[in-house]
Amino acid sequence: MNKFGYFSFGPQNNAIYTIVQYAKKVIVEVNPLMPIALGGRRDMCHISEVDYIVENSGVPLIEVPPLQASETDKAIAQHIIKEIHDGSCIQLGIGGLPNIIGEMIAAAGIRHLGVHSEMLADSYVDMYEAGCIDGSRKVVDPGKMSYTFALGTQRLYDFIDRNPVCAISPAGYINNPVVAAQNPGLVSINNCLEIDLFSQVSSESSGGRHISGTGGQWDFAKAGYMSKGGKSIIALASTHRKKDGTLESRIVPTLRPGTIVTLPRWTVHCVCTEYGLVDVKGASTWERAERLISIAHPDFRDDLIKEADRMHIWLRSNKIS
């Protein structure tokens, strides 16, 4: 508790204050090792709202080291980095791909970047320390790195501790597409599991097997779509290796029964694999299919063309190189 009677929620502010407001009893655990995450939007609660206080001697936060980028991630990042320019406002998802994108941004010397992201990770610290991020061209929270939770290493937690450059806010604010899209040049980058030729995206399940949740993907896909000069990029490796060692395409004719649609086709903007990046915003069904087949693994393109023909998706050509 600070001298004014407020407790910081630390690096997690998705919906905590709302829970405090509606809970019948509020118990706070005080951890002296918890970083104080500044923000200005429901990032603290007052002792008058608390029923019980539990103190501990100091519990280190869970650390999640950055995932190592694969060669496929690096190839995908090479295409995506071309879409990020001086003054862009970025949102990165989780995994090895965002980490390598952050490294490439720092190496490329891109400047005046803004941050409006659900998650803050170590890669943002890399970009900030390289002089890439200043938030000077943001409309929402100018000069601030806006986020709703931080997950990474102790280096990240030390960075956000009492740092006025970092501004934590609830997900209802950060993830609101109307809020995020006010930032011009918003580039949102997120992963998916599978996409079909109609450009329906699944990031949650493989058939009926549940893998993940929606998270903020829809929110930021919509925000990037709406942002002036912005774009939403959905990234995926073109193939997946099954347990028996065989490859299967992650660009498929149709999603399998039971697969959850995370992004409906009309919200999908750009799609990127290691074979390239295509824009399907406002495209017709056959244009979407052609463009997606062009970035599929070469071994699967002919079969995808045949399936498109079987589904009466009329392509301009019967061979896509």
pLDDT tens profile 243-260: 898 999 999 999 999 999
pLDDT for res 318? 54
Q: For 278-295, what is the mean pLDDT? A: 96
Question: What would the mean pLDDT of 17-34 be, rounded to a whole number?
Answer: 96
What is the number of other CB atoms lying within 10 angstroms of the CB of residue 206? 17
Q: Which domain holds residue 85?
A: 71-310
**Mean pLDDT confidence for 67-75:** 89
Q: 293 near 301, Cβ under 8 Å?
A: yes
What mean pLDDT, rounded, does the chain reach? 93
Query: In this structure, are 37 and 142 located in the same domain?
Result: no
Indicate if 152 and 250 belong to the same structural domain.
yes
Provide the greatest CA pair distance for the chain.
71
Distance CA 61, CA 167 (A): 19
> Which percentage of the chain shows pLDDT scores above 70?
98
Dihedral angle sign, alpha carbons of residues 135, 179, 125, 34: positive
Over residues 282-306, the mean pLDDT reads: 96
* pLDDT higher than 50, residue 280: yes
Average pLDDT, integer, range 119-137: 94
Same domain, 51 and 137: no
Average pLDDT over residues 61-90: 93
CA distance 52 to 27: 5
pLDDT band at 3 (very low <50, low <70, confident <90, very high): very high
Q: Report yes or no on 41 lying in a domain.
A: yes
Interatomic CA distance for residues 154 and 5, integer angstroms: 26
Same domain, yes or no, for 168 and 38?
Answer: no
What's the rounded mean pLDDT across residues 268-274?
Answer: 97
Same domain? 97 vs 42: no
Can you name the residues that pair with 6 across neighbouring β-strands?
46
Angle (CA) 195-300-280 rounded to 5° is 40
Whether 224 and 298 map to the same domain: the answer is: yes
Contact 204, 263 (CB under 8 A): no
> 270-273 and 231-235: which strand pairing?
parallel
- 20 and 103 share a domain? no
Strand 186-191 with 231-235, pairing:
parallel
Instruction: Check residue 317 and give its pLDDT.
Output: 55
Q: Would you state the pLDDT for residue 185?
A: 98
In a domain, 204, yes or no: yes
- 174: Cβ–Cβ under 8 A, 6 or more apart, which residues? 116, 117, 118, 146, 147, 148, 180, 216
Is 61 a domain residue? no
Based on the residue annotation, tell me whether 118 is a catalytic residue of this protein.
Answer: yes
Beta partners for residue 120, in sequence order: 150
Catalytic residue among 118, 194, 274, 307: 118
pLDDT category at 321 given cuts 50, 70, 90 is very low
Alpha helices in 63-196 (DSSP H): 71-80, 96-108, 122-129, 154-160, 171-174, 177-180
Q: Does 131 lie in the same domain as 29?
A: no
Does the predicted model carry a pTM greater than 0.75? yes
One domain for residues 271 and 129: yes
